[in-house]
């Protein structure tokens, strides 16, 4: 199965990572990739936000990658996939899976670009030093991303442990949707879909009240300095929790991000 309107080639490559082994809430995010592809069939290719259509941009869906259920092996496999795409002078939009998958992709970007700013949309800070006695899982992923050298620009976060609260105050990683996104470094966008309010996006493993709505996301997408964006991920949709309304929203998020990436490049490509 492929995301609707995907081509045989193009500079933007979609792939999905069916991994949810460390999920602490409801599982099922490993089923997200193909459920989002299925939902894309119900969605218009045309986006009024970009006045552009998926049919007009050359992106390729390379499908699901095979990954181990062992976290460290999975991280290596994701890094390898991401690195091979980046070494072809292409970029990627990765669909999770749970948020842990982001670390493998960020490692590939750090190796390629040296510096990176991760724009992290999420309900949760994901900044614990360890969780359930492991260092590598979806509750610690942004702590590892930070330690491995990326700058953090966190948006929509509304759930913290005390340790995380102190971390965001110390390192000033928390920003507001009204703040402008700096364009001095290569940008990696990581969208944990639970940043949305559970009323509009119930299909996630750890829902958290008080989230954003579609218009907030649309404004965010239009404010990104797209010429600096080197990679994107969309994670934490669990079709086992809710698979209809949430799948459409997830597919629409993917559509707007694909078109956003091309918005800075389309004139050159045409």
Distance CA 106, CA 126 (A): 15
Query: Stretches 72-80, 124-132, 162-170, 212-220: which one binds Mn ion (CB under 5 A)?
Result: 124-132
8-state DSSP, 228: G
Q: At closest approach, how far in Å is the CB of 194 from Mn ion? A: 4
Q: At closest approach, how far in Å is the CB of 185 from Mn ion? A: 23
Binding mask of the shown chain, residues 161 to 200, with x at each position contacting Mn ion by CB under 5 A: -------------------------------x-x------
Distance CA 15, CA 214 (A): 24
Q: Which of 20, 79, 98, 122 binds Mn ion (CB under 5 A)?
A: 122
Which position's Cβ is nearest Mn ion?
A: 124
Output the six-digit token pair for 141. Answer: 């992923």
Does residue 124 touch Mn ion according to CB under 5 A? yes
Of residues 120, 248, 233, the one with CA closest to residue 173? 120
Residue 123 or 254: the one with the smaller Cβ distance to Mn ion is 123
Residue 43 or 174: the one with the smaller Cβ distance to Mn ion is 174
Residue 122 or 151: the one with the smaller Cβ distance to Mn ion is 122
Of residues 185, 188, 115, the one with CA closest to residue 154? 188
Q: At closest approach, how far in Å is the CB of 236 from Mn ion? A: 6
Residue 86 or 155: the one with the smaller Cβ distance to Mn ion is 155
Of residues 189, 214, 192, 216, the one with CA closest to residue 205? 192
Distance CA 116, CA 149 (A): 8
Residue 20 or 192: the one with the smaller Cβ distance to Mn ion is 192
CB 103 within 8 A of CB 141: yes
Distance CA 45, CA 52 (A): 8
Q: At closest approach, how far in Å is the CB of 142 from Mn ion? A: 10
Residue 84 or 130: the one with the smaller Cβ distance to Mn ion is 130
Query: Stretches 48-56, 74-82, 120-128, 169-177: which one binds Mn ion (CB under 5 A)?
Result: 120-128
Distance CA 75, CA 119 (A): 20
Q: At closest approach, how far in Å is the CB of 193 from Mn ion? A: 8
CA distances from 94 to 15, 128, 197, 221 (A): 5, 23, 22, 17
Cis bond before residue 97 (omega within 30° of 0) = yes
Q: At closest approach, how far in Å is the CB of 192 from Mn ion? A: 4
Distance CA 62, CA 7 (A): 10
Q: At closest approach, how far in Å is the CB of 41 from Mn ion? A: 27
CB 105 within 8 A of CB 92: yes
Residue 60 or 99: the one with the smaller Cβ distance to Mn ion is 99
Residue 27 or 182: the one with the smaller Cβ distance to Mn ion is 27
Q: Residues touching Mn ion: how many (CB under 5 A)?
A: 5
Query: Stretches 26-34, 57-65, 103-111, 123-131: which one binds Mn ion (CB under 5 A)?
Result: 123-131
- The runs of H, that is alpha helices, within 62-187 are 71-87, 101-113, 141-147, 162-171
Residues that bind Mn ion (CB under 5 A): 122-124, 192, 194
């Amino acid at each position: 199965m492929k995301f609707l309107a995907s081509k045989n080639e193009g500079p933007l490559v979609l792939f999905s990572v069916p991994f949810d082994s460390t999920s602490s809430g409801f599982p099922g995010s490993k089923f997200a990739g193909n459920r989002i592809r299925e939902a894309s069939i119900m969605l218009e290719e045309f986006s009024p936000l970009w006045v552009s259509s998926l049919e007009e941009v050359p992106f390729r869906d390379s499908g699901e990658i095979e990954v181990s259920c062992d976290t460290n092996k999975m991280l290596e496999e994701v890094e390898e996939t991401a690195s091979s795409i980046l070494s072809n002078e292409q970029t990627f939009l990765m669909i999770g899976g749970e948020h842990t998958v982001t670390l493998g992709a960020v490692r590939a970007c750090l190796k390629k670009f040296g510096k990176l700013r991760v724009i992290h949309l999420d309900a949760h800070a994901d900044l614990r030093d360890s969780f359930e006695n492991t260092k590598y899982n979806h509750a610690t992923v942004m702590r590892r991303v930070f330690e491995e050298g990326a700058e953090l620009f966190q948006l929509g976060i509304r759930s913290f442990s005390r340790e995380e609260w102190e971390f965001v105050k110390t390192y000033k990683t928390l920003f507001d949707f009204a703040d402008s996104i700096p364009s001095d470094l290569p940008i990696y966008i990581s969208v944990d879909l639970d940043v949305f309010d559970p009323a509009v996006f119930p299909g996630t493993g750890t829902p958290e009240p008080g989230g954003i709505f579609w218009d907030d996301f649309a404004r965010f997408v239009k404010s990104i300095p797209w010429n600096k964006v080197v990679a994107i991920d969309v994670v934490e949709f669990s079709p086992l929790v809710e698979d209809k309304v949430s799948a459409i929203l997830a597919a629409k998020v993917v559509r707007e991000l694909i078109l956003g990436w091309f918005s800075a490049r389309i004139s050159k490509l045409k």
